[in-house]
Every structure is written in C-alpha cells, then in structure tokens.
Amino acid sequence: MNKRLMRPYSKRINRGGKTGIALLGLLVLAGIVLVVYYVKSSARHDEVELWKEDFYTEEDIYEPPRLYHTTPQPEAITVEERPDGRSSSVGLSSPNRYMDEPPRRPLSSVALDEVDSHVFEVVEVWPEFPGGQAALMRYLNHHIQYPPIARENAIEGRVICKFIIEKDGSISDVQVVRGVEPSLDREAVRVIESMPRWIPGQHHTEIVRVRFTMPVIFRLS
C-alpha cells in the first residue's frame, strides 16, 4: 500500500492512543480524588460523632429534686400514768428522725389513674387533727389507758406508729414501726384507730392520701 495513503491512518491511531491514555489518566486521577474525598469525609464524620459524645443530651441532664414547703407532722405523744389510774398525755417530742423513707414522686409525675391509690409521704399541706395539736392531746388524754400488765412490770418506752390518712380523713393501715412491749403496742394502735376523721392532706390543690408517723411515749410517774 502506498505510504502516503497510510500516513493519515497512522496519525489517527497515534492520536487515538494518546487520547485513550489521557482518558485513562483522568479516570485514575478521578478515582484517587474520590477515595481521598471519601476518606476525608469519613474522618470528618467520625470527628463530629466523637465531638457530640462529649456533650450531654437533654435526657442526660440531671434535674435536681423539687423542694416543697411542708408543715411538720405532729410531735410524739408522751403518755404518763396518773394517780387515779388513767393515762395522761403530758409532752411532745419531734418524730422527724423516724421518717426514714424518701419522698415519693411529686403529683405532676404520677399518672392520673394512680392518684386515687397513691400514698404521699411529702405534701404541701399536711393532714390535721380537728382542732389542731391541742385537741389531739385532749383526745389522747381521755382515751389512752396505761395497760395494767405494763404498769405492774414498770414497762415504759416509745411506740412508733405509722398510718394512712385517707382522702376522707379516716385512719387506715395502722402499723407499729418500732414497738416496746405487746400491751403498749396494742394500746397505741387501738387509740390511733379510734381517732375521729382528720382534715385530709393536700398536694397541688388535690386532696390526697398521706402516710403519717406518730411516736407515742409511755412513761410511769
């Protein structure tokens, strides 16, 4: 074949080869760029995730316990035998150190369908005996009897009771937290169960059930 005729074809082949090599180079370069970009992007993503872990989410933020203005519960009742054989409530002492149970949830965190059965131990307005503490003292003065067996054996001591004041003011679930002697324990429970209805406690303007603690001190004169 004539060399003159072959020259255009050889030039095209050379040009096509150079173009293919150039395209191949561009593809390789693009691949390198993509890999580098992906690696850098991944690294930045990891750094962001790590940075986020150094901060607290809203759920992780500690919320301090809410404080409530409370009225102190009635103090301990001291029962002292009189010469006529009756018992006399002659003194008071604070029961606060016997309230070991932690405060329950505030009303706002208690489901509405649980409010009726929930028993509160910290409330804004404490239940009150009708007429106040003076009336409570008079009631106990007339109703508590020093048990003969305890008197004969010169038994004295402090009976710590807890009970629930219901929403209607009635007394329920009377228990001896710390007893002294069976006859003194029974007398303390009996007189608490016989008390008239109290003025019920309130929390967030709602009348609620409240657990109450009341030590009763028996002392021989």
Q: d(Cα 9, Cα 210) in Å, to the nearest integer?
A: 105
Phi, psi of 92 (to 5 degrees): -130, 150
pTM of the model: 0.55
User: 94 or 200: which carries more pLDDT confidence?
Assistant: 200
Q: Answer yes or no: is pLDDT of 55 > 50.
A: no
Beta-bridge partner residues of 164: 172, 211
pLDDT value of position 141: 81
User: 44 or 154: which carries more pLDDT confidence?
Assistant: 154
Beta-bridge partner residues of 60: none
Structural contact between residues 208 and 217, judged by C-beta atoms closer than 8 angstroms: no
Q: Answer yes or no: is pLDDT of 198 > 50.
A: yes
pLDDT value of position 23: 58
Q: d(Cα 177, Cα 169) in Å, to the nearest integer?
A: 21
Q: Answer yes or no: is pLDDT of 164 > 90.
A: yes
Q: Answer yes or no: is pLDDT of 191 > 70.
A: yes
Structural contact between residues 121 and 104, judged by C-beta atoms closer than 8 angstroms: yes
Closest of 151, 131, 149 to residue 139, by C-alpha: 131
Phi, psi of 213 (to 5 degrees): -120, 130
Q: How many CB atoms lie within 10 A of CB 221?
A: 9
